[in-house]
Amino acid sequence: MKDKDKDKRFRVCPACNGQKVERISRGTILKTLLFWLPVQKYYCFKCFRTFYRFGK
Ligand SMILES: [Zn+2]
């Protein structure tokens, strides 16, 4: 159950706290430059913003 809570917290928009967040693929430049970084790009359907999160 702890893993589920962790996953839930991970998928919350930092701008509006909306939970309609989907992971999208990083841009080509980011992929090339930051391939060694565990950065993930997310898109929020509530406030229409994209944001990055660190972590695996
Ligand atoms: Zn949002």
Integer Cα distance of 44 and 15 in angstroms: 9
Dist. CA 41–CA 1, nearest whole Å: 25
The whole-model pTM stands at 0.67
Report d(CA 46, CA 33) in Å as an integer. 29
Half-sphere exposure at residue 15, Cβ-oriented, CA atoms within 13 angstroms = 14
Top-confidence residue, 39 or 20:
20
Count of the separate structural domains present in the chain: 1
Compute, in angstroms, the gap from residue 18 CA to the centroid of ligand 1. 5
Q: How far is the CA of 14 from the centre of ligand 1 (A)?
A: 7
Residue 15 has pLDDT above 90, yes or no: yes
d(CA 43, CA 12): 10
Averaged pLDDT, 13-30: 90
Measure 17 CA to ligand 1 centroid, in angstroms.
6
Tell me, in angstroms, the distance from the centre of ligand 1 to residue 28's CA.
23
Rounded percentage of the chain residues whose pLDDT exceeds 90: 36
What is the domain range of residue 27? 2-54
Q: Is the pLDDT of residue 55 over 60?
A: yes
